Amino acid sequence: MKSLATFAFATLSSLMIGSAARADNTLLTNPASTAYVDSTTNVAAYGHPTGMLIPGPCNLYAASFADARSHGAEILAYIRATSMPDNVNGCAPEQELHGADIGPNLWPYPTYGYRSNYPDSHIADIRVGSAWSDHVVEYVEKLMTEDKVDGVFLDATGARNWSAIAAWPTWPQAEKDEYTLGTIDLVRRIDAKRRAINPRFIVVNNGNWDRGNLDDGSPDPLKHDGEPYVDGICIEGHRATEPFHIGTAGFAYGNLGHRRVIAIAQDPADAQLWENVQGITHVFDPQPDYLTASPPVIPFHRLIDRPKKFGKTSPGTSWSGGMGADAKRASKFALSENGRLVALHAYLDGLGGGTGSQPIRLALYRDNGGVPGAKVMESSQKSIAAGTAAAWQQFSGTNTILTAGTYWIAVQSGAPAQIVRASQAAPANWYGNSDVYSDGATDPFGTGNTGGVTLSLYATYTVQ
């Protein structure tokens, strides 16, 4: 960003001829802002689904951002992946990232530590397989695991270095390729980690993945190669009338379903234009120093492409027997905040021994003194065929508003029996009874019996 990366982009509009017509954006958009100091100015204003805030490393865990997140804002951790500050700030996250003793970590060409991209910093050794690249991946993996932020904002990370200080046009082609391959590999590895650990984790890089033709004028074989590994990019400081950046905003990027393409406008009027550029999801007009959050410049629009979860989200270590007909069984789980239900999920297979297909539906009940009580909703049904391999099965929700509290997620099964099995594990968290399938799940749940396992069931929701 400009406060930390004054030369993050060079204007490409001079390379383009003519203008591009813009259609109205078919994607919902939301405000975003950076806030690199521990200030509460305007932070609470982003506490809506799905506002976005990008704190700096030293205020990443500040209470004001955690509170905004609890109200639906997405918090992206700012990371300088391609540069090393000459003097590391004393806060713990900054020390953990840039102060770690991992050996030589500066760009080795044309000599070690020669190249700089911002004042008071030098280009990091971002080559494939470098100790620094390994360290960045490990740092981001920690953020995924602890789940205190929603993603990362990789500043000045793309196919090339746009800093005037770096003087990219003077680099030999082989050196350029080392840099580009390194940044592609970095986002590829981060993407692989999040798919294994936390697929909801957002990855946005500040930069594009088009470095132009090679020095000899031939097409670049690495063009767009980093795009599949990120949810989108940040377009910083370019007007919404520039054809190159209008086109870049519309690229596909990753396939995890939560696209995030940010435009940092030059002024409020420019922000209004960026809101209508196809592909843009977040817009802000920054404060001059990027240190405090700017007032939101466009309205908020709820997104449901990245729902949260409550329940048992990992498969159990054992299986029930084949489910009988006309019965339901449930496990209880706590929802810590108000939300809007998106869907219910169950880990099931079709290996219960029966033949044909067994109808299944899920239902949600409120807790009533430690047992299921009033019905909140029930899903549409699915038919699970005999022999179906174990998998998470999603059952549609009803856009139901949920208040924080304890809920029971129930599985109701019909005839024929003994086909579907449910994944389960300790501890004891089970309640079930007979219930005729043809007329839906009863309301209330009714008297039943307890059991010694927890079913692998969870709900997805967005913050209300």
Structural domains present in the chain? 13-305 (3.20.20), 309-463 (2.60.120)
Instruction: Round the average pLDDT of the chain to a whole number and report it.
Output: 92
**Tell me: the pLDDT tens digits for 274-283?**
999 999 999 9
DSSP state of 255: S
Distance CA 19, CA 14 (A): 11
Percent of the chain residues past pLDDT 90, beyond the cut: 85
Q: What per-residue confidence (pLDDT) applies to 52? A: 98
Q: How confident is the model at residue 39 (pLDDT cuts 50, 70, 90)?
A: confident
Mean pLDDT for the stretch of residues 108-124: 95
- Determine how many CB atoms are found less than 10 A away from the CB of residue 20: 13
17 pLDDT exceeds 60? no
**Tell me: the pLDDT tens digits for 409-454?**
999 999 999 999 999 999 999 999 999 999 999 999 999 999 999 9
**Tell me: the pLDDT tens digits for 454-464?**
999 999 998 87
| Terminal-to-terminal C-alpha distance of the chain | 31
Mean pLDDT for the stretch of residues 52-62: 95
From residue 232, alpha-carbon distances to 73, 153, 240, 250, 385 in Å are 18, 10, 17, 10, 38
On the CB side of 163, CA atoms within 13 Å amount to 22
Mean pLDDT for the stretch of residues 198-220: 95
Helices and strands, number each (H, E), in the chain: 6, 25
Q: Give the relative orientation of helices 173-197 and 131-146 as an angle to the nearest 10 degrees.
A: 20
Q: Which tokens go with 350?
A: 């079709």
Q: What per-residue confidence (pLDDT) applies to 7? A: 28
Residue 51 backbone phi and psi in degrees, to 5:
-65, 165
Nearest to 362 by CA among 341, 379, 386: 379
